[in-house]
Amino acid sequence: MLPALILSLAALGIALLRLWAYRAQLLDMARVLEETPPESNLCLTVRMSGAAPRRLCQAVNKRLEEGRQLRQEIQKREQELKYTMACISHDIRTPLAGAMGYLQLLEAEPERSAEYLGIVGERLKELEELLEELFLYTRLQGGSLPLECGETAALPPLWDALAEFYPQFEAAGVEPELRFDREDMKVWANSEALGRVYRNLIANALRHGGGALAVSGQDGEIFFSNALLPGPRPNPEHLFDRFYQSSPARAKGGAGLGLSIVRELQERMGGQVSAQITGDILEIKLSFRDDVVPF
């Protein structure tokens, strides 16, 4: 009887010690969590034996890591939002300020009204194009722009885009060079979106290029090549990033969204876009899905 009582008391004592150890460990974990700043890379440790304490510690550490990742993502998005707002504010303010300036000149020199009103119209057109790009990019990012793709003739949208920029080509003294294996080339695309891709690439070449524009294509790929201006070179790895411009001064015009829209549209059509610089030549390659059956 006495030995059984002694064994029972010993077992009770061991159980109480384990409970005390559990309590002490939990209190220690709570203290560490309360005293540690949220941005810390803290990971809790457990000294107690048994699967339950280790499982609890692992679950807490998992939640801590998820919280850290969530905070980092929120901080990243906040920084991106601030940068986006700064870029949008600058790009909208520039043509708007120009228009306001010429309107003030118009009041002082009414005899030059035709000239000044023409410049004001140009600045407002720039502003309209900026807002259109922002709206399109927002729709693409939000997935609210459905694209129905199919076998599409690659060249008619290109002819239309080149004709649209004829005044700019003529003013720059540039004659596009076209090299295609066949005029009936087809790609898997949406005709309207493909035309927008062409227009953005042409506009980018005219705005940032330093010479003739060459467009060529074969086997589901189309290439836009143009010489680069002297000065800072664009980074091909970031060329299609949102608001990217090789010059920090952002003095070339545009919102820095044109090539981002090109990438978004290409990917929505199942294709890809890439860039490389060889010497003084920038080459942008459009790759399309190979769903089209060759003729």
Would you state the pLDDT for residue 10?
67
Tokens read off for 49:
């034996």
Would you state the pLDDT for residue 248?
52
Instruction: Tell me how many degrees the CA angle 239-244-245 measures, rounded to the nearest 5.
Output: 95
Tell me the C-alpha distance between 72 and 1, whole Å.
64
Residue 153: burial class (beta carbons within 10 Å; 0-12, 13-18, 19+): middle
Q: Give the pLDDT confidence of 194-241 residue by residue, as tens digits.
A: 999 999 999 888 888 777 899 999 888 999 999 888 878 888 888 888
Fold of 152-287: Heat Shock Protein 90 (3.30.565)
Domain borders along the chain are 152-287
What number is the average pLDDT over the span 61-88?
A: 77
Residues with Cβ within 8 Å of residue 132, at least 6 apart in sequence: none
Tell me the C-alpha distance between 103 and 178, whole Å.
42
Q: Which residue, chain included where needed, has tokens 């239309």? A: 160
Would you state the pLDDT for residue 292?
55
Tell me the C-alpha distance between 65 and 85, whole Å.
30
Q: Which residue, chain included where needed, has tokens 């920029």? A: 165
Are 153 and 259 contacting, i.e. CB atoms less than 8 angstroms apart?
A: no
Tell me the C-alpha distance between 121 and 60, whole Å.
61
Residue 79, pLDDT > 60, answer yes
Tell me the C-alpha distance between 275 and 39, whole Å.
38
